Amino acid sequence: MLKINIYRYNPEEDKFPYMKKYEIEKPQKDIMVLDLLHLLKESDSSLSFRRSCREGVCGSDGMNINGKNGLACITALSEVLKGDRIDIRPLPGLPVIRDLVVDMTQFYNQYEKIKPFLQNDTSPPEQERLQSPADRDKLDGLYECILCACCSTSCPSFWWNPDKFVGPAALLQAYRFLADTRDLEKDSRLDDLADPFSVYRCHGIMNCVAACPKGLNPNKAIGEIKTMLLKGKNSKNIIASDGVTA
Amino acid sequence: MTNTINANNIKTLEFDALIIGGGGSGMRTSLELAKSGLKTAVVSKVFPTRSHTVSAQGGITCAIQSADPNDDWRWHMYDTVKGADFIGDQDAIEYMCSEGPKAVFELEHMGLPFSRFDNGRIYQRPFGGQSKDFGNGGQAARTCAAADRTGHALLHTLYQNNVKEGSNFLNEWFAVDLVKNSKNEVTGVIAFSIESGEVAHLKAQATVLATGGAGRIYASTTNALINTGDGLGMSLRSGFAAQDMEMWQFHPTGIYGAGSLVTEGCRGEGGYLINGEGERFMERYAPNVKDLAGRDVVARSMVLEILEGRGCGEDKDHVFLKLDHLGADVLNSKLPGICELSKTFAHVDPVYHPIPVVPTCHYMMGGTPTNIHGQAFTRVNSEDVIVPGLFAAGEAACVSVHGANRLGGNSLLDLVVFGRAAGMYIQKELKSGGGVDSASNSDIDNSLERLNRLNESNTGYDVASVKKELQTCMQNYFGVFRRGEFMEKGVSELEEIRNKAENIYLSDKSIAFNTSRVEALELQNLVEVAEATAISALNRNESRGAHARDDFPERDDENWLCHSVFDPNDKSLSKRVVNFAPNTMEAFPPKVRVY
């Protein structure tokens, strides 16, 4: 038998969240954690979680599975089971709306803060803007982010300062546009990040890298941004007004 | 939400334009409207980047003259007309193929990270059904790609630019039903916030259905779990027609067992299918283009191989997609997402081993009939009548550019071209004083009925089991091959399933993020779409494109070179003429479709 513990909280009924125990026959073949949740929902329809593509590209079903953040739809039971036990909790650090569903507002706010769109005010050519394959390659490992929040919600610095530290996911996107040869706002993008919190709360803990279900490396991108900031004209701003050093 | 809701106890939010759905077509429409100064909202049941456009892999087909400087949009048009088995509307196809380059370059200017050729231009790969010189010049390479993650790149780029333009999103809001006034004009929707449960009347002068497909009517589908045909469900319940609903594309390469899509780009890059005997069987079915024949042709060939005992695996119930001969470099640079998916869902690394695949429900060619401006129309006394206030774009719409079979890479083009067109038209119409009258309180109460009934249910059927019944029925009787007697059985089973779906017991009546309420409402939408599909399929007595009948194996141009229009009011099917009048050139006349 599989012993499953799931974080439950319904704001209308529960004063506090609790772990609900489920037991089901261990499936014959290896299934994904999302399949397991669907099985449980068939008998307990009140269990709530987000899901959409069920193939690891939409980023809906990030959750904490036996202590590690990941996407339920591409995490096989065989990878995560501890004996016959599995504990499933919402992504850590964000307010819980219900059960495994978290309020991602802070996460999305940080994303919007880095101006996640190409900025180039020159009038475009009739066709596409040219970009060499080598320059395009610089975007690999960056543009593939699916905004699942597995990285940012595994980051102690983000837990501590979700309002001021941009966090690994949005910083990865900040670097995606800094690295794009078609973007012309590098200086202003760096200006926006040149403070003690936005980037420099990253202390290289690397939880983001361990958590990313797409195999991306936000820590590396953050390192690149730090280098650009130090070499750039705004390096002075980094030792900030409140005396907090980077 | 558990007390009876009526027009007097919900709030009204008023907009100029309302877009239902935050996928590619919805966000392209909203982007067009964001710059217009009109008050617009996108109502999306998921955060926009979770929409199913994200799963599109291979690319967006368009004659941008990058791989071939002599490419011509007319060749693309010819391929699309032929691919559609001659029931795509040629004025709409002409518009899509000729406007396409503009729409693709716009995406690039917005930042879409297309892959590149050495000269810096957008990378294009060959896809099925593509030709040069109106079928006479050999295989074309016309599909613009961002590796094998084009849909992801496109959807995120559109969201990013909507953020830039300050578009207004009602994320994780679920649209329940259209609101109609006494003149049969659409005046908005009833919707609720999934998070808070708050129900509202969203009032608008223009309501755009950009709700995507409904692949979840089948048991085996490449479609996301959210593809439940919500827009079509709403419009059918409102009594508006649906067109060409028998035309469902089965993608040749869904991963066996899991259903996840494996892009046609794999075959475009040089991969091919083999049967249990190791034979490259498409050489027999399509001697010229082999594995790059139309999707309907390849899917049927695969099923025939399996039915004739030449499948792969213990049960001989699938075939293999062979890619290892392409080498690790090509696979890692051009098809990295496929390598990832294959390892996760088939436990196979395509660098070394073939991927087990099987035809899997993929795309709804039918939908709400529209003109090229996205205006929806319906049938009144066998005449097409525009529905004031109602628009549709993307997979939810049937404009119709895909006819009986969509070509790979044309869905992304469809949604940007017609999303944009709908946005432009709505702007023009509303700024010149067009619009609709308000709905009365009783009109609004009518649209609240379904939600109230569900909320007040004390007994009834269970969503999960009725959904399974529905999906099994559609899979068994309305799959790749169809036969009248089986379909009749399917239609009568669907009557029973409809009855159950209308009597669902919602055991969890809670307010906050109650996904079981959403799933019950989605199931009812699935049933509407399934019924339209079944009745349309049963009545089209011929084989054309994706609609293949054992009992009518030939195409019948004399009787069926036409659209089918399903009328939900009396569940009847009528015929509608196909447009053979493009504006700038002679029409392509129907001919035998060989690859």
The pair phi, psi for residue B17, each rounded to 5°, is -130, 145
* DSSP state at residue B10: S
pLDDT for B123 equals 98
| Inter-chain touch A180–B111, beta carbons under 8 Å | yes
Q: Is B161 on the interface with A (CB under 8 A)?
A: yes
Q: Is A122 on the interface with B (CB under 8 A)?
A: no
What is the rounded CA–CA span in Å between residue B571 and residue B531?
Answer: 9
Residues forming a β-bridge with B416: none
Nearest residue on chain B to A10, judged by CA atoms?
A: B512
Nearest residue on chain A to B511, judged by CA atoms?
A: A12
pLDDT for B462 equals 96
Q: Domains of chain A, with CATH numbers?
A: 2-102 (3.10.20.30), 105-231 (1.10.1060.10)
Tell me the per-residue pLDDT of B557-579, one tens digit each, with 9 for 90 and over. 999 999 999 999 999 999 999 99
Tell me the per-residue pLDDT of B339-380, one tens digit each, with 9 for 90 and over. 999 999 999 999 999 999 999 999 999 999 999 999 999 999
What is the rounded CA–CA span in Å between residue B36 and residue B431?
Answer: 9
Least Cα separation, residue A53 to chain B (angstroms): 4
Tell me the per-residue pLDDT of A2-48, one tens digit each, with 9 for 90 and over. 999 999 999 999 999 999 999 999 998 899 999 999 999 999 999 99
Least Cα separation, residue B499 to chain A (angstroms): 21
pLDDT for A241 equals 46
| Inter-chain touch A58–B49, beta carbons under 8 Å | yes
Amino acid of residue A205: I
Q: Is A39 on the interface with B (CB under 8 A)?
A: no
* DSSP state at residue B318: B
State yes or no: pLDDT of B510 exceeds 60.
Answer: yes
Nearest residue on chain B to A29, judged by CA atoms?
A: B257
Least Cα separation, residue A63 to chain B (angstroms): 15
| Inter-chain touch B152–A10, beta carbons under 8 Å | no
| Inter-chain touch B50–A60, beta carbons under 8 Å | yes
Question: B7 is written with which tokens?
Answer: 């027009």
Residue bearing tokens 């803990």 = A205
| Inter-chain touch B512–A74, beta carbons under 8 Å | no
Which of A234-243, B524-533, B579-588 has the least mean pLDDT?
Answer: A234-243
Q: Which of B45, B57, B108 to mutate to test the interface with A (most CBs of A within 10 A)?
A: B108
State yes or no: pLDDT of B540 exceeds 60.
Answer: yes
pLDDT for B434 equals 85
Nearest residue on chain B to A48, judged by CA atoms?
A: B515
pLDDT for A232 equals 78
Catalytic residue among B28, B74, B142, B295: B295
Q: Is B4 on the interface with A (CB under 8 A)?
A: no
What is the rounded CA–CA span in Å between residue B352 and residue B326?
Answer: 10
Tell me the per-residue pLDDT of B148-191, one tens digit each, with 9 for 90 and over. 999 999 999 999 999 999 999 999 999 999 999 999 999 999 99
For the question of residue B295 being annotated catalytic, the response is yes
Mean per-residue pLDDT, A106-133: 98
Helix (H) or strand (E) holding B206: strand B206-209
pLDDT for A234 equals 63
Tell me the per-residue pLDDT of B115-138, one tens digit each, with 9 for 90 and over. 999 999 999 999 999 999 999 999
Please list every residue in chain A whose beta carbon sits closer than 8 Å to the beta carbon of residue B513.
48, 97-99, 101
Interface of B with A in 421-460 (CB under 8 A): none
What is the rounded CA–CA span in Å between residue B63 and residue B330?
Answer: 24
What is the rounded CA–CA span in Å between residue B184 and residue B389?
Answer: 9
Nearest to B510 among A46, A57, A126 (CB): A46
Q: Greatest CA separation found in chain B?
A: 68
* DSSP state at residue A45: T
Least Cα separation, residue B265 to chain A (angstroms): 18
pLDDT for A238 equals 56
Mean per-residue pLDDT, B528-551: 98
Q: Which residues lie below 8 Å from residue A141, measured CB to CB, with a gap of 6+?
A: A216, A217, A220
Q: Is B49 on the interface with A (CB under 8 A)?
A: yes
What is the rounded CA–CA span in Å between residue A203 and residue A47?
Answer: 37
Sign of CA dihedral B490, B492, B493, B496: positive
pLDDT bucket at B382, cuts 50 / 70 / 90 = confident
Please list every residue in chain B whose beta carbon sits closer than 8 Å to the beta carbon of residue A132.
116, 118, 120
pLDDT for A235 equals 61
Nearest residue on chain B to A30, judged by CA atoms?
A: B345
State yes or no: pLDDT of B554 exceeds 50.
Answer: yes
Tell me the per-residue pLDDT of A183-204, one tens digit each, with 9 for 90 and over. 999 999 999 999 999 999 999 9
State yes or no: pLDDT of B107 exceeds 90.
Answer: yes
Q: Residue B516 to residues A46, B168, B293, B453, B464: CA-CA distances in angstroms?
A: 7, 27, 42, 15, 10
The more confidently predicted of residues B437 and A243 is B437
ipTM higher than threshold 0.90: yes
Mean per-residue pLDDT, B431-460: 96
SS3 B165: coil
Mean pLDDT of chain B: 97
Question: B1 is written with which tokens?
Answer: 């939400």
Nearest to A51 among B225, B261, B511 (CB): B225
pLDDT bucket at B2, cuts 50 / 70 / 90 = low
Mean per-residue pLDDT, B379-392: 95
Q: Which of A47, A55, A126 to mutate to test the interface with B (most CBs of B within 10 A)?
A: A55
What is the rounded CA–CA span in Å between residue B225 and residue B445?
Answer: 30
State yes or no: pLDDT of A245 exceeds 50.
Answer: no
Number of A:B CB contacts under 8 A?
150
Tell me the per-residue pLDDT of A147-181, one tens digit each, with 9 for 90 and over. 999 999 999 999 999 999 999 999 999 999 999 99
SS3 B541: coil
| Inter-chain touch B113–A180, beta carbons under 8 Å | yes
The more confidently predicted of residues A240 and A142 is A142
State yes or no: pLDDT of A243 exceeds 90.
Answer: no
